[in-house]
Structure 1
Amino acid sequence: MDEREYQQLADAALAKIEARLETADVDFEIVAGGILRIDLDDGSQIIVNKQSAAQEIWVAARSGGFHYRWNGGAWLDTRGGEELHAAIARLAPP
């Protein structure tokens, strides 16, 4: 995939995460560089950001770091195969 397609897919994924967080009334903020910071009730944070060089979306949470790569239909964790939006729902429940 070329850079333009990666950016479009990654931006769409981040917009979907933001919409879900708004609907669930979960606190979040877009900080410098387009990084999405999710603030959880227990005081912890989840950081979601694009990694253009690797063409991945990275998620950092208390439970660890996760890399998601587009497989042609979804963003999947490069180690466990979990889908990005399912992971965010699990890590940041409403």
Structure 2
Amino acid sequence: MTDLEFMDRAEQLLLAVERGCDRINDDTDCDLDSQRTGGMVTLSFANQSQIIVNLQKPLHEVWMAARSGGYHYRFDGGQWRDTKTGSEFFADLSRAASEQGGQALQFAP
């Protein structure tokens, strides 16, 4: 994957995270705040916990930090997959956000 391809795919991922936050706020009573700074999106929950998603451009990876741990994802040609477990980014984000938000929250590409 070239740097340009990575940035295109990674930008799509960050936009999907932001749109997911907007949809969750519209459809649920979850108080979820998202703030974007460059290649990083910070999700803040009512209980003061956070999930941080940021780009690691030199490695062509997307990293996520949540209460449950830190995760590194690479694009496999179809999805962003964790480099250790192979789990899919949006499934992991949904799980972590649900745990930290105290209710079922769903993110999708």
Normalising by structure 2, report the TM-score: 0.80
Determine which structure has the larger strand proportion and give its number.
Answer: 1
Which portions of structure 1, spanning 4 or more consecutive aligned residues, are displaced by more than 3 angstroms?
none
Shift of 1:91: 1.0
Q: What's the CA shift string for 1:46-82, capped at 9, x where partnerless?
A: 1100000110000011111000000000000111111
Alignment of 1:7-86 (within 5 A): 7-25=7-25, 26-31=32-37, 33-86=38-91
Please give the TM-score of this superposition, normalised by the length of structure 1.
0.92
Q: 2:89 corresponds to which letter in structure 1?
A: L
Q: Which has the higher mean CA deviation after the structures are superposed, 50-59 or 38-47?
A: 38-47
RMSD: 1.0
Query: Of the two, which has the highest radius of gyration?
Result: 2
CA deviation vs aligned residue, 1:26-60 (integer Å, no higher than 9, x gap): 211113x3310000222110110000011000001
Matched residues, number: 93
**Which residue of 1 is the match for residue 2 of structure 2?**
2
**1:87, distance to aligned residue in structure 2 (A):** 1.0
Q: Distance in 2 between matches of 1:18 and 1:88?
A: 12
